[in-house]
Structure 1
Amino acid sequence: MKTTMSSMFRGACYAAGVTVFTTATNIAAQSLKEVSEEECIYGDCDSGRGTLVLKTPWGPGEYVGNFKDGEFHGYGRLEIPISFLAKEIYAGNWAQGTREGRGSHWNGKGKLYVGEWRNNMRHGQGSYFFNLPEWNENEHTEFWLKENFENYTGGFVEDHYQGQGTYRWPDGQKYVGGFFASDKHGEGTFYYVTGTARQQYWQYGDLIR
C-alpha cells in the first residue's frame, strides 16, 4: 500500500504536519520532513509487526518493528538517510510514535547514544559517544567504545547531562562527579593521564576550587 504524506501513519512521520522527533537536537526531525511517500511492504503496519519504507531525496529509509494504531510502538528499528552518504539510525523501544525506554541512536555525524529515553529525549542512564568515524551495530561493546572514544556516561535529564556521571577523553583523562544542565556542578574528581587525582568543586560550569 502506498500513501502520500497527507495520510501518512502518525507514528511514522507526521501528525497534522508535525514530525515524530520534536526536540531540536534530533537530526531526524529534518530528515523526516523530506519523506514524500511511504509504503508498507511487509506485515501489519497498523497494529502488528511490519516493514515501512520511507521515500526521501537521498534514497529509501526503513522502519522495521512493531506498530500500534498506526504508530511506532514496542521495539523497532528506524534507518533514514540524512544525505547521499550518511544515515541516521534508532534501534530500540517506542511508545505511541516517540522513543521511550532503552534504545541506541546514531546521528550519522559521529555521535552515538546508548541508553534510556523518555518522550523522545535522552533521559535516565546512558552513554554518549563523540567523534566516531562510523558505527556498525554490534561491532563493538560499550566498554570498548568508552575506552577508545571521548564519551559521557551517567545520568541524563531531558537531553542534558545531569546527576552523577563520568566524562572520559581518549588520552585516558577523565572527570567523575556531578553535572547539572550539561555543566560540571558540585563535587568531582579529575584524573590525569599520570594517575594523579585532583578533587574539584564546580558551580554551573565554573571551577570554584
Structure 2
Amino acid sequence: MFEDEQSIAYVCLYNLPSFIGFISFATLYCCKAELQLLWIRVVMDAIKLKMESKKANYVGEVSNQKRHGYGKYVYPNSFFLYEGEWSMGRKHGLGKLMMKDGSFYEGEFICGEIEGSGLRHWAKTGDSYSGEFKQGELHGFGVLQRASGETYEGQFCCGLREGHGSLTDSDGHAYLGSFHRDKRHGEGRIEYSNGDQYEGSWVLDQKQGQGVLRCVDGSLYDGQWRNNLFNGQGIMIHTSGMVWEGIWTNGRPLGGASIMVIEGGGEGGGGGGGGGRRRRRRRRRRFGSCPGEGLLRGSAAADGGRGRDRHE
C-alpha cells in the first residue's frame, strides 16, 4: 500500500495516537523481529516529523549551525517574534522583540537578555518606558509615561522607582525628590495644581517629619508632620495675620489653645510717642475654628478628609 517508510510516517503523523497504540500491539504479538523494528522506525519518524512541524521559524544569517548575524525568529509558541542581531544562537546587539498582543521592546540585548538602553511598550495598559534596562527590568535612568497622564523621570532599581526623580501625576501635581521602593520617601518638594507647595520630609508617600507648607493665599505652616497632618511642634502664619505656635496633633493645636498674634491690631494715636503706630497684640484664646483646618482643606493636601492628599 505504501511505497516506503516515509509515506507510512506521514500517515502516522496525522494519526499518531492510533499508531502508537498499534505499535504497542505489534511489538507484543508479532513474531517477526524485522516487522517490529519496522514499526518502531515508522513511529519514531512520525514523532520526529511532528516535532519539526512545531519548531520555530528562523530566517537569517547563521554560523556553525547557530543563529549569528542578522535574522528574524518566530518562537515556537508564536507569541514572540524577534528581529535583529544574533551572536552564536542568542539575541545580542540591537533588535526588536514583538508580542502578539501589540507589546514590544526595541533596543539593546546582551547574551539573550534585555540589557542596556531601549524602549518598552505595554499594549494592555498603554504605558511606555524609555531608558536603561538590566536583565529585562527597568533599571537605571529612564522615563515612564503612563496612559493615565502620569510621568516619572528619574532612577529605577529592579523595576521600581528608587533614588532621585520627578513625578507629575494625572492631576498636575509635580513632585521632585527622593523615592524608595516606588514611593516618595526622603526629602522632596511638591507643587500642587492649585499653586500650594510643600517642601520637607516624606515617609512611604506621606508627609512625615519636618516640612513647610506654603499656600497660594499666603498662609504658611512650618513644623512637624505625621500621616500628612500637622503633628508636633509647629507654627502657622495664617493669611488673616493670626499666628498659632505650639504643639499640634492631627491638624489641630494640642489642648485646643495656643498663642495667637494679631498683626496690625493695635490702638493708635495718643501718647508715648507712638501716634499712628500699629502695635502687636498677643493674647490667649480658645479655638473654636482653627485656621489650620482650613489651611489643610484649602491646600492641595486634602482629599475630602482632613489633611489627606487629594492626589494620593
Match of 1:95 in 2: 157
Q: Which of 99, 102, 106 is the matching residue for 2:168?
A: 106
Is 1:47–1:69's contact at 8 Å kept on the other side of the alignment? yes
CA-CA distance at 1:118 after TM superposition: 0.5
CA-CA distance at 1:169 after TM superposition: 0.7
Q: What aligned pairs does 1:59-208 form with structure 2 within 5 A after superposition?
A: 60-82=126-148, 87-131=149-193, 149-193=195-239, 197-208=243-254
Match of 2:107 in 1: 42
Structure 1: segments with no counterpart, 5+ residues: 8-35, 133-148
TM-score of the pair, normalised by structure 2: 0.46
- CA RMSD across the alignment: 2.7
Query: Does structure 1 residue 53 correspond to structure 2 residue 121?
Result: yes
Is 2:187–2:202's contact at 8 Å kept on the other side of the alignment? yes
TM-score of the pair, normalised by structure 1: 0.67
Taking the aligned partners of 2:212 and 2:132, their CA distance within structure 1 comes to 34
Is 1:190–1:200's contact at 8 Å kept on the other side of the alignment? no
How many residues are aligned here? 158
Is 1:155–1:165's contact at 8 Å kept on the other side of the alignment? yes
Q: Which stretch of the first structure deviates more once superposed, 193-202 or 91-100?
A: 193-202
Larger radius of gyration: 2
Taking the aligned partners of 1:2 and 1:111, their CA distance within structure 2 comes to 44
Give the match's secondary structure for 1:47. strand
Post-superposition CA distance 1:166-202 (Å, at most 9, x none) = 0111111110000012111111111233666431320
Post-superposition CA distance 1:70-104 (Å, at most 9, x none) = 1000101011212xxxx111111000001100111
Post-superposition CA distance 1:150-181 (Å, at most 9, x none) = 12110001111111000111111110000012
Taking the aligned partners of 1:109 and 1:154, their CA distance within structure 2 comes to 21
Is 1:167–1:176's contact at 8 Å kept on the other side of the alignment? yes
Which letter maps to 1:107? D
Q: Do the aligned partners of residues 2 and 162 (structure 1) sit closer, same or farther apart at CA in structure 2, a change above 3 Å counting?
A: farther
Which letter maps to 1:51? L
Give the match's secondary structure for 1:55. coil
Structure 2: segments with no counterpart, 5+ residues: 1-72, 81-100, 259-312
Match of 1:21 in 2: none
Is 2:218–2:238's contact at 8 Å kept on the other side of the alignment? yes
The percent identity for this pair of structures is 29
Give the match's secondary structure for 1:49. strand
Which letter maps to 1:76? G
Which letter maps to 1:46? I
Post-superposition CA distance 1:113-168 (Å, at most 9, x none) = 21101111110000122225xxxxxxxxxxxxxxxx11211000111111100011
Structure with the largest fraction of helix: 2
Taking the aligned partners of 2:156 and 2:166, their CA distance within structure 1 comes to 12
Which letter maps to 1:174? L
Post-superposition CA distance 1:10-40 (Å, at most 9, x none) = xxxxxxxxxxxxxxxxxxxxxxxxxx54211
